[in-house]
Amino acid sequence: MAERYSSFAPGGTAWLLQRITAAFLVVTLAFHFFLLHFVNHAADVTFLQTQARMSDVGYFLTMVLFLIAAAFHGVNGVYNALINQGLKGTQKTVVLVVLTLAGIALVVQGIWVALAMGGWI
C-alpha cells in the first residue's frame, strides 16, 4: 500500500488554520448563497442594496472575515499542493513569497472595496 504524504504537519498551526478556515468558509458561503441567490436573486441585486448591506457592521465584518479566510485557505492550499508535488529549495521560497504577497494584495484590495462599498471611507 502506498504511504500517504502531506506537507501539512498534523497538529501544526497551518494544518489547524486550514481546517478552521474550511469550516468557516462552508458556513459563510452557505450564508452568501442563501442571501444573494435565494432571498435576493442575483439578477435583482443592485449597487444600492450592496451598499446598504455593507454599511451594516455585522455584515461588513462577516464579509471581511470571509475574504481573509478565503485568501488564507486558498494561498495555503496552493502552496501545500505545490510542496506535495515536490517543490523544494529556492523555488519553494520564491513561490511562498509570491503567494504571500498576492494574498496580502488581495486582502488589502478587498478590504478597501468593502470599506468604500459600506461608506466607511
CATH of domain 13-117: 1.20.1300
Q: Which of 35-39, 75-79, 95-99, 112-116 has the lowest mean pLDDT?
A: 35-39
Distance of CA 68 to CAs 15, 63, 76, 86, Å?
17, 9, 12, 27
Predicted local distance difference test score (pLDDT) of residue 45 = 85
- The model's pTM: 0.86
Mean pLDDT of 18-31: 96
Count of Cβ atoms closer than 10 Å to residue 24 Cβ: 17
Domain spans of the chain, in order of start: 13-117
Local structure of residue 39 (DSSP, 8 states): I
Q: What is the pLDDT of residues 43-100, one digit of tens each?
A: 888 899 999 999 999 999 999 999 999 999 999 999 999 999 999 999 999 999 999 9
Q: What is the DSSP string of 18-36?
A: HHHHHHHHHHHHHHHHIII
Q: Where are the alpha helices (DSSP H) in 11-119?
A: 13-33, 47-55, 57-84, 89-117
- Select from 60, 101, 64, 57 the least CA-distant residue to 79: 101
